A and B are shown apart, each in its own frame.
Chain A
Amino acid sequence: MQDNRILLNDSEKNRYNRQMIMFDWGEEGQIKLKKATVFIAGAGGLGSSVAIYLASAGVGCIRICDSGKVELSNLNRQILYTDDDIGKKKVLSAAQTLSKINPNIKIVHLFEKIEKGNISKLAGNAQIIIDCLDNFQTRYIVNEYAVNAGRPFIHTGVYGMAGQITFIFSPETPCLECVFPDAPPPEILPVVGTTAGIMGCLEAQETLKYLTGRGTLLKNRLIVLDGDNLTFEELHLEKSPSCKICSSKFN
């Protein structure tokens, strides 16, 4: 089997030891991560947190996409970047930092704006798509692609001290438009760095669970973080039989 051809060297066994000694993870789980490819849509506050943890955990190939350059006003939350990176392409700077964090993995940096016409090419052979975007218009493009391509899509958003997350895997779960059919007006939203950090960590953890096949994924549930009161509210989600994106898949 192909599984046996990808092995871990001694340095990797040492690097990942603390997670490999977990029950049900081991060398087998680590090799699953090494073989995996993920697509991180957006290299901002959420993307920083997701990318750092997935790189550290040993995900073999990270495709990270963003059309932005680093600005001073990013630095309260986009922890992949420093003052020295201002003006640089986010994905290029991200790739350099992530390669330093873990030189054993491959980083594919994609300096492009996500559109209907290029999403398939950008996502490539990624097994999972991770929403680190900052607007619903682009999320709808990624959601539709994920539904049609049959790929899992972790949706997350942040707002000030609040965050939300759900694991979308149509037709098993509702898609993003079943629950949020109307995009809110685009505007500059407040984001506290720690909120993006917390929500990005949850996305990264769901990704690790999916790739290693452990635990219960956040399917059909929306978790809403209220950081000001530090509560997590859970909403049960339902597929919409009239959803224009996904209903043909399960009706």
Chain B
Amino acid sequence: MYAFKYAKAKSVADAATSIAADPDAKLLAGGQSLIAAMKLRLSQPSALVDLGNIADLRYTRIEGDTLVVGAMSTHAFVAACADVRKAIPALAALAGDIGDRQVRNMGTIGGSIATNDPAADYPAGCVGLGATIITTKRKIAADDFFGSMYETALEPGEIITAVSFPIPKRAAYIKFKNQASRFALVGVFVAETPAGVRVAVTGAGPGVFRVAEMEKALSAKFAPESVANIKVPADNLNADLHAQADYRAHLVTVMAKRAVAKASE
């Protein structure tokens, strides 16, 4: 790791001031992605602004028909939270299956979606549920937030403060894990939301994407057989030592079928 300066932010406003003052500074949440990247010298911030002490960013609450999760809520916190387990059990299960227990005790929702790892779980949950990302500057629909790998709509100095999830009628997330890293080789989040059925896929492509054909078929009939014969084209999918593109395309259909079955339980 290259040397850097370090400051603990006392509040979101304090963090916003520090981060605006130095274009090469970075926010630090749980550090579970950033510290690894810094060790590999893939990331060389001049300074870290640590959000770890801002207790007001660690909460979940029900607001009308949405569930709001503070940006610094750890994966373990979200997985165990009674509100989340009741309102959106699929989201609690998703958080409870990220990485391993030690990672879940540190890693946060804000850090995960700001990273937008192409195999991360939360992007599928956010897009699948039609979430809104709330920042210090604006509100961004999940559909507009996630770009291609590691790209998001965040501007320099913009801080995620919370994510707001519309509570769905039913939802489920199924991932086929990469056995070594436990990231998604392919993960599919299916939800029947007040705004319609949504199907979001992570791990398969360069970024999270929706499958319109599956959404249409599930709107007509929410059952596993509705998606059983819908294949996504392998053309733009990831191919690496873990899986070829056509295998990932195959897994999208299988995971979608299982997610619909689970959501229908």
A-B complex is real: no
